[in-house]
Structure 1
Amino acid sequence: MSYPTNFIHAADIHLGKRQYDLDERFRDFANTFLKIVEYAVNEKAEFVLISGDLFDQRNINAPTYVQARQVLMRLKEAGIPCIAIEGNHDRAFLRDGMSWLESLDYEGLVKLIKPGEERLMENYVDIGRIRIYGMCYAGSSTSAVLPRIAQEIKEINGSDPPEYTVLMMHLGVEGKVKESIIGEVSYESLLPLRECVDYLALGHYHNTYDIDGWVYNPGCPETWSIAELGGQKGFYHVKNGAAALKQVEGTREFFIVKVNVDGHKRVDSLEGEIEHKLSRISSNKPIVYVLLHGTLNFDKSAIDIEKIRRMAIERTGALYADVRFDLLNDEFTVARLDSDSLDRASIEREVFRKLALADSMLAGHSEQFASALADIKDMAVKGADEHSLDAVLRKLFETIKGAPEGQKNLISEGDGEWDWRNRL
């Protein structure tokens, strides 16, 4: 539907992300959000949408809350309402019952749309003749509630029709990321919404995608993980019904320097190629990863990782540098680039996963096995008794034994959070 619109659609801001434990990265995420808000003010936007995950964690600290308040105050002073929903990172813990987004709502800095007591869609927001609905992150229940959402929107709009309808949701569409993730929905399951929604404003996946001119996911405007490199991301400026992707200028650059080790017989030869490739990088305090891949022709212990890190920082002026391996002849190499740093926990989890893959019974449940063993290890370090450890292990094997075939290796996105369904 063509209607004179002028609004901003963003998602997955992840304020509070202290990537690599660096103050600079903590500030980077806030500065990126500030630039989006300043763009909205300059363009005299009618409103700003945040489709989940304004915060990186549910238990944010005081500096993160101050960042959010200061940036959102810019919108309030400009008379631009900010409409938000809770993502999986924003949800309150069960013991708290209230999220930090609700605190911002209480202060009048955002309008948080939550499921209603009687109907999921009853807490909509009207701005002019535009009606905005919202649904918080629903995880594995997402597909089940979509028909209900469509029906409720039709009923509400039927009695008081708006000119333009927006629905905000925090979900992932199948086929848009490599992994299988709990809560994904097929595009076909979204189609009932098309009958009553002009603009489906999504959040959750950190890459940009749009489908058929009505489904839009802007992605995370910052680089939350090294695995996100290579794809577009930013925020949408929707004018007169047409969504244009805008990239935030001046965000910190990330580089992956890939070096094939196949042709090197000695470590000094390998270091020479690494240094040569690093010398090509010209950027202001970038993040640099050196990825060594292929088949190593000498002992891996000869590679001085710390020396390569120092070389990367000296040659490029990097704010942070790290070395990763993707070696064909190293059984337990940690090849994945989807964590922020190669810390002990990442290594342990990957080793646990590969151990499970080598076992015929556990191979189909490697993610669950790795997660459970990591939890058991952490519990043991903190002094948990043997009965508690045994209970976790028993639960793991009961889960594996009873899991349906289609549930294998789905990535879980957290337990113990407040459940919106308890409010219905």
Structure 2
Amino acid sequence: MTRVLHTGDTHLGYQQYNSPERRQDFLEAFRSVVEDAVADDVDAVIHAGDLFHDRRPSLVDLQGTVEILRTLADADIPFLAVVGNHEGKRDAQWLDLFADLGLATRLGADPELVDDVAVYGLDFVPRSRRDDLEYEFAPVPEAADHATLVSHGLFEPFAHADWDTERLLTESTVEFDAVLLGDNHKPDTAELLDTWVTYCGSTERASASEREDRGYNLVEFTDDAISISRRGLTETREFVFVDVDLAEDEGVDRVQERVREYDLEDAVVIVTIEGDGRPITPATVEEAAIDRGALVARVNDRRELPDDDEELSVRFADPDAAVRDRVRELGLSDAALEIDETVRNDDLVDSNVRETVERRVRDILEDDVAAFDPAPDREPDDEDVTTVADQLADGAATTTDAATASESDGDAASTGGDEQTEGTAADGERGAEDSTSLGDFA
């Protein structure tokens, strides 16, 4: 029997909520995974991408990562990994550096043999380049009884998917028994074309929307079966979620009363307010939580409160309408309008906005370098200038590239509870070829 620990989306270096303590939390969560691997004496640790939150991690983040990887090396446990969208660079990858140090193996089209399991890798590939991707892998070694693929992206049949998993499995030159994935921060497993497809989830909460416990997968390969089990991390930072549904005559006193019901010591506190109650000042609630020992406190007021001044309510109660009017005056290109739509899409998790926009801009430019040129012939009152508010009013659903999270690559920031990721603008990508092989992404 071969046993591997499947993890991913560790997002090392992420200073969530601008808190140095949260940055350290992400490193400690990764350390806990490695310590579990050593204690269980697994045959390998497989990382499915987004080891780092940013393609330019600090020296401190790199030092911490090297220290943890040395723990695995000292225990003779190989660390096998692919490159995720958060950390991916145009030239050499950080995984290549760790490989040069003897601390990691970057997976690719040639298999890495772990006992009787052949492990292949596929780095994150931008959506605009996948149609030309040829799933060509080296043959499975005779000594292998199983073959598994490790990759990073939003794969079907899971939520927010934009990657055709059936095409991957049917066109691949290798018949895989399992596909071990990263990018979606929510753990999940499905069977597709007699192949197990599984997400391990993230090791820390990169967004306030990630309420489930964090953890990783343990995958066991036996002669005639594959077993995938979920293991939780018990030492991650506690998140306290306080949900308040205010009655019409209730206000900040009721919110603070609910907050006082919880032990907030050293916790990240997320207060979500719904209902019909009176307006509140978020800072008042956040300060009260901090005074009671919370590390971080955020208030997310989801109510649409009326403005007492009718004239002001017209201008500010519907910000999308104001933005829509301004957008019509700008003469923006269709590509720019699409990005505007994505940014203000209510269905897109706040933590994924930056990553989704980054991916979409990259895809658009790869298809047409002039896509963002102004549209001088567009008139301010053109009916084809629409925003998210227009589409919601018409009952139309808006589709985006988003995941769950990754910036993924989950991450956190928002107007209210979540906090947007701090990833930098994407490095340029090469234009798509007529025919693309896996070697182009190695």
Counterpart for residue 139 of structure 1: 126
**Residue by residue, what CA displacement relative to the aligned partner does 1:98-136 show, whole Å, maximum 9, x if unpaired?**
22222111111110124xxxxxx2x32112221110010
Counterpart for residue 340 of structure 2: 369
Counterpart for residue 222 of structure 1: 204
Find 1:355's aligned residue among 319, 323, 346: 323
Counterpart for residue 230 of structure 2: 245
Is the partner of 2:299 in helix, strand or coil? strand
Counterpart for residue 201 of structure 1: 180
- The answer as to whether partners of 1:255 and 1:288 remain within 8 angstroms in 2 is yes
- Alignment TM-score, normalising by the size of structure 2: 0.70
Is the partner of 1:13 in helix, strand or coil? coil
**Which structure carries more relative contact order (alpha carbon 8 Å, separation 6+)?**
2
Q: CA deviation at 1:190?
A: 4.5
- The answer as to whether partners of 1:125 and 1:131 remain within 8 angstroms in 2 is yes
Distance 2:60 2:175 in 1: 40
The alignment covers a number of residue pairs equal to 356
User: Counterpart of 2:78 in structure 1: which amino acid?
Assistant: P
Distance 1:357 1:113 in 2: 50
Q: CA deviation at 1:420?
A: 10
Using a 3 Å threshold, how does the CA distance of structure 1 residues 53 and 420 change in structure 2: closer, same or farther?
A: farther
Using a 3 Å threshold, how does the CA distance of structure 1 residues 314 and 396 change in structure 2: closer, same or farther?
A: farther
- Alignment TM-score, normalising by the size of structure 1: 0.73
Counterpart for residue 416 of structure 1: 427
CA RMSD of aligned residues (A): 3.9
- The answer as to whether partners of 1:235 and 1:246 remain within 8 angstroms in 2 is yes
1:185 aligns with 2:153: no
Q: Which consecutive residues of structure 1, in runs of 5 or more, have no partner in the other structure? A: 115-120, 332-349, 376-390
Q: CA deviation at 1:312?
A: 1.6
Using a 3 Å threshold, how does the CA distance of structure 1 residues 256 and 353 change in structure 2: closer, same or farther?
A: farther
Using a 3 Å threshold, how does the CA distance of structure 1 residues 419 and 53 change in structure 2: closer, same or farther?
A: farther
- The answer as to whether partners of 2:107 and 2:120 remain within 8 angstroms in 1 is yes
Find 2:101's aligned residue among 96, 99, 107: 107
Judge which range, 166-175 or 104-113, deviates more. 166-175
Q: CA deviation at 1:176?
A: 3.2
Counterpart for residue 2 of structure 2: 5
| Greater per-residue helix proportion | 1
Using a 3 Å threshold, how does the CA distance of structure 1 residues 393 and 139 change in structure 2: closer, same or farther?
A: closer
Distance 1:45 1:353 in 2: 56
Counterpart for residue 171 of structure 1: 153
Using a 3 Å threshold, how does the CA distance of structure 1 residues 358 and 255 change in structure 2: closer, same or farther?
A: farther
Find 2:290's aligned residue among 313, 335, 352: 313
1:73 aligns with 2:70: yes
Distance 1:357 1:74 in 2: 57
Is the partner of 2:175 in helix, strand or coil? coil
User: Counterpart of 2:46 in structure 1: which amino acid?
Assistant: L
- The answer as to whether partners of 1:257 and 1:278 remain within 8 angstroms in 2 is yes
Q: CA deviation at 1:33?
A: 0.5
Using a 3 Å threshold, how does the CA distance of structure 1 residues 420 and 125 change in structure 2: closer, same or farther?
A: farther
Is the partner of 1:64 in helix, strand or coil? helix
Q: CA deviation at 1:30?
A: 0.7
Q: CA deviation at 1:210?
A: 0.4
Q: Which consecutive residues of structure 2, in runs of 5 or more, have no partner in the other structure? A: 308-317, 345-352, 355-369, 378-383, 386-395, 408-424, 434-438
Distance 1:105 1:330 in 2: 58
Counterpart for residue 336 of structure 1: none
- The answer as to whether partners of 1:364 and 1:408 remain within 8 angstroms in 2 is no
User: Counterpart of 2:148 in structure 1: which amino acid?
Assistant: V
Is the partner of 1:156 in helix, strand or coil? coil
- The answer as to whether partners of 1:369 and 1:396 remain within 8 angstroms in 2 is no
User: Counterpart of 2:239 in structure 1: which amino acid?
Assistant: F
Distance 1:260 1:368 in 2: 33
- The answer as to whether partners of 1:372 and 1:396 remain within 8 angstroms in 2 is no
Using a 3 Å threshold, how does the CA distance of structure 1 residues 394 and 195 change in structure 2: closer, same or farther?
A: closer
User: Counterpart of 2:59 in structure 1: which amino acid?
Assistant: A
Distance 1:168 1:273 in 2: 48
Counterpart for residue 340 of structure 1: none
Percent of aligned pairs with the same amino acid: 23
1:325 aligns with 2:301: yes
